Amino acid sequence: MIRVALPFHLRNLARVDGEVELEIANPVTLRAVLDALETRYPVLRGTIRDHGTLKRRPFVRFFACKEDLSLEPSETPLPDEVVSGAEPFLIVGAMAGG
């Protein structure tokens, strides 16, 4: 069970409280998590990654286990703690301006 923590505005958009839990087969990669998230919540398509290119939007960041994974390739496996559900995968709205 993968735990995904969404930022405030995306939780509202997806109409969820707290974390989202996703079942994902191995290997659990950045891309696999985002694909599963968008499949469960199509309203999030285009808000985290661009339609078509699937490139991360500039002011969205990915954190896990106190590491910034935002610039990692999409096929990067997530840490074991995230795969086991011990730690959440964080999708964060970056600090960008006042």
Partner 1 sequence: MSKVRVLVGTKKGAFILTADGKRKDWKVSGPHFAGWEIYHVKGSAADPNRIYASQSSGWFGQIIQRSDDGGKTWNTPGSSPDELKSQGGMPKGESNKFVYAGEAGTHKWYDGSQHPWEFKRVWHLEPSPADPDTAYAGVEDAAIFKTTNGGKTWKELSGLRKAKGNLWQPGAGGMAVHTILLDPKNEKRIYVAISAGGCFRTDDSGKTWKPITRGLKSPYELPDPDAEVGHCVHRITLHPSRPDVLFMQKHWDVLRTDNAGEQWNEVSGNLPTDFGFPIDVNWNEPETIYVVPITSDSLHYPPEGKLRVYRSKTGGNEWEPLTKGLPQKDCYVNVLRDAMAVDQLDPCGIYFGTTGGQVYSSANGGNSWNAIVRDLPAVYSVEAQILP
Beta strands at 60-64 and 20-22: parallel, antiparallel or unpaired: unpaired
Minimal distance, residue 80 CB to partner 1, in Å: 29
Minimal distance, residue 15 CB to partner 1, in Å: 9
DSSP bridge pairs for 64: 67, 89
Structure tokens given for 11 = 């939780």
Comparison of 86 and 94: residue with beta carbon closer to partner 1: 94
∠ CA 1-54-59, rounded to 5° = 85
Minimal distance, residue 81 CB to partner 1, in Å: 26
Question: Which residues contact partner 1 (rule: CB under 8 A)?
Answer: 7-10, 12-13, 38, 42-48, 50-52, 57, 59-60, 93-94, 96-97
Structure tokens given for 63 = 């954190």
Comparison of 36 and 83: residue with beta carbon closer to partner 1: 36
